[in-house]
Amino acid sequence: MMKTFLVAFSLLISVLNFAQDKSFYTVSKDGSGDFVTIQDAINNTKAFPGERITIFIKNGIYKAKVKLHEWNSTLSLIGESKDSTIITYDDHFKKIGLGRNSTFFTPTLLVEGNDAILKNLTIENSAGDIGQAIALTINANRVAIINCKLLGNQDTLYLTGEGKQYFKNCFIEGTTDFIFGSATAFFENCEILSKKDSYITAASTPKNTEFGFVFQQCRFTAAKDISKVLLGRPWRIYAKTAILNSTLENHILPVAWENWAKKEAEKTSFYAEFNNSGKGSDLKNRVKWSHQLTKKEAKMYTKENVLKDSKHPFWFKNAENIN
């Protein structure tokens, strides 16, 4: 009799737990939401859900490392406001102290779940100008970052793997190689602010990948007294970066690109520009191995083409409409 009761009770608990699966959760530091911390909310969502799960994060400063695991797919982190919903932490290379690859342990927010959406958030590495310190790492496919601020210094944004990622209406700041990695990424209407005379991008695009980093209708700006910035250098020799229809201010050096002491990269990498404006867009003194796209070539660099996915052809458009 007791055994029958325990089995029935266990089944009842399972049913109740299943019934508690929701598609919307709220995080609030004052305890008025479902959870007080962002990670607790993520950890309590259903793994590999059949529908999108949204975690709404109320304004506040959340000092913590946050991770969307591989099984946290189709998950949205939506902040109450871009300027006041802040996820911040201060890990950096020396603090981690795990050898030459310590950089990759530093991100404040790590995204490994496919089809993630981040919106209306500030994501910050607050370590300061102290070396490699990532704010956001994305190692997943079909990830959209919309109306976010990514704050840091060296290595602010790490885009890794061979997935596709979409940035729209974002502010991204840093010092050296602050947008780097192997993923295909499309940046639309973003401001890219250099805080030091250094390099902006360091792509490591895999060989035979059609696109690397593509910037469309972006603004490349700089902090006060910054005047010697290069658009990119190849972290690996097949790096690809293209900048189109964007504004380049006068902090961009006339040569614009560098080979990172890798002479072979001058033949294997692909750095391209088209129809840019601003004092930094003058092409007369660009390195000879960079490319100036023709109108026909430039037509290939639409987000529909760069971000295409055979199974999910309109994934980025759906992400734009998420509230």
Q: Convert 217-270 into a string of H (helix), E (strand) and C (coil).
A: CCEEEECCCCCCEEEECCCCCCCEEEEECCEECCCECCCCECCCCCCCHHHHCE
For 281, the domain range is 49-320
Which conformational region is residue 275 in: left (phi greater than 0), alpha (psi within -120 to 50 degrees), or beta?
left
Active site residue 155: yes
Tens digits of per-residue pLDDT, 35-62? 999 999 999 999 999 899 999 999 999 9
CB-count exposure of residue 283 (10 Å: 0-12, 13-18, 19+): exposed
User: Does residue 177 fall inside a structural domain?
Assistant: yes
Active site residue 30: no
- The token pair that represents 157 in the structure block: 């944004």
Residue 141 has pLDDT above 50, yes or no: yes
User: Does residue 9 fall inside a structural domain?
Assistant: no
Q: pLDDT > 90: what percent of the chain? A: 89
Cβ–Cβ contacts within 10 Å for residue 302, how many? 14
User: Does residue 38 fall inside a structural domain?
Assistant: no
Rounded mean pLDDT, 162-172: 97
Per the residue annotation, which of 155, 197, 225, 309 is the catalytic one? 155
pLDDT on residue 135: 99
User: Does residue 40 fall inside a structural domain?
Assistant: no
Tens digits of per-residue pLDDT, 300-314? 999 999 999 988 888
pLDDT on residue 4: 53
What strands lie across the sheet with 117-119, from one edge to the other? 24-27, 53-57, 75-79, 117-119, 143-146, 164-168, 184-188, 213-216, 240-244, 270-274, 291-292
Q: pLDDT grade, residue 27 (50/70/90)?
A: very high
**Distance set, CA 195 to CA 23, 37, 163, 202, 203 (Å):** 40, 31, 28, 16, 19
Residue 222 has pLDDT above 50, yes or no: yes
User: Does residue 212 fall inside a structural domain?
Assistant: yes
Tell me what the pLDDT averaged over the chain comes to. 94
Alpha helical stretches, state H, the chain: 2-19, 38-43, 93-96, 265-268, 295-298, 303-306, 315-320
pLDDT on residue 3: 52
CA dist., res. 245 & res. 276, Å (int):
5
User: Does residue 250 fall inside a structural domain?
Assistant: yes
Instruction: Count the helices and strands in the chain (H runs, E runs).
Output: 7, 26
CATH number at residue 155: 2.160.20.10
User: Does residue 10 fall inside a structural domain?
Assistant: no
Helix (H, G, I), strand (E, B) or coil at 19: helix
Tens digits of per-residue pLDDT, 76-128? 999 999 999 999 999 999 999 999 999 999 999 999 999 999 999 999 999 99
- The token pair that represents 251 in the structure block: 């902090």
- Number of structural domains (the chain) is 1
Task: Kindly report the backbone phi and psi dihedral angles of residue 18, in degrees, each rounded to the nearest multiple of 5, phi listed first.
Answer: -65, -40
Q: Where are the beta strands (DSSP E) in 42-183?
A: 53-57, 60-63, 66-68, 75-79, 85-89, 109-111, 117-119, 122-125, 136-138, 143-146, 149-151, 157-159, 164-168, 171-174, 179-181
User: Does residue 4 fall inside a structural domain?
Assistant: no
Tens digits of per-residue pLDDT, 265-294? 999 999 999 999 999 999 999 999 999 999
Q: pLDDT grade, residue 317 (50/70/90)?
A: confident
pLDDT on residue 20: 65
pLDDT on residue 98: 97
pTM: 0.93
Per the residue annotation, which of 40, 90, 91, 177 is the catalytic one? 177
Q: pLDDT grade, residue 322 (50/70/90)?
A: confident
Residue 257 has pLDDT above 80, yes or no: yes
